[in-house]
Amino acid sequence: MSTTRPSLPGDRGPETDANVAQGPLAPVERLVRKLGLADATGIVPMARDFTRQALYDWGWLPAPDAERRAAAEDVLLVVSELVTNACLHADGPQELRVGAQGKVLRLEVADKGAGEPAPRTPHRAGRPGGHGMFIVQRLCLDWGVLRVPGVPGKTVWAELAAPDDLGAAATS
């Protein structure tokens, strides 16, 4: 199920009692890469290549084992699905943002569309098309839509977990 949040990108929600009891945690650097996609051609492969380079730079690739390889492939698949959905249903993507903070990788695709993405229900695995948001929902920790009041368009975001040994690498 999609979540629509009024918060800003990167907001992790309210602090839990456990976090407050432990005191403030050391800040974890947030790395962000942005790619403009408005009026570009070959948008989906361009977005994947851009994301793949960020994964190399942040230590997700090259993947020395199956778990890390699968995590990187999941990220690239989610990027493909989000960008493809913006192409098909939202007058094209405007910008891709790839961010890493601690053990979470966040993907954001901004577009000018007014629609609300949602997994098709009921999901029919044997039929072509309509699987994009279902895939995003299955592979991600969370996903949602951000809108700015009075501004056309939206940002569809998705967060994926880094493999256990990558949390420290993503902050360098």
How many angstroms separate the CA atoms of 51 and 48, rounded?
Answer: 5
Percent of the chain with pLDDT over 90: 60
Q: What is the pLDDT of residues 15-44, one digit of tens each?
A: 333 333 444 555 667 899 999 999 899 999
Share of the chain above pLDDT 70, in %: 73
pLDDT at 27: 64
Q: Give the residue ranges of DSSP H helices in 25-160.
A: 43-57, 66-89, 132-139
pLDDT for residue 107: 98
pLDDT mean over 48-54? 98
Reported as a single tens digit per residue, the pLDDT across 108-157 is 999 999 888 877 666 566 666 667 898 999 999 999 999 999 999 999 99
β-bridge partners, 102: none
Q: Is 2 exposed, middle or buried (0-12, 13-18, 19+ CB in 10 A)?
A: middle
CATH topology assigned to domain 39-159 = Heat Shock Protein 90 (3.30.565)
Can you give the pTM of this predicted structure? 0.78
Question: In the numeric block, which tokens belong to residue 36?
Answer: 């403009």
What are the residue ranges spanned by the domains of the chain?
39-159
- Element at 136 (helix H, strand E): helix 132-139
Which of the pair, 21 or 64, is modelled with greater confidence?
Answer: 64
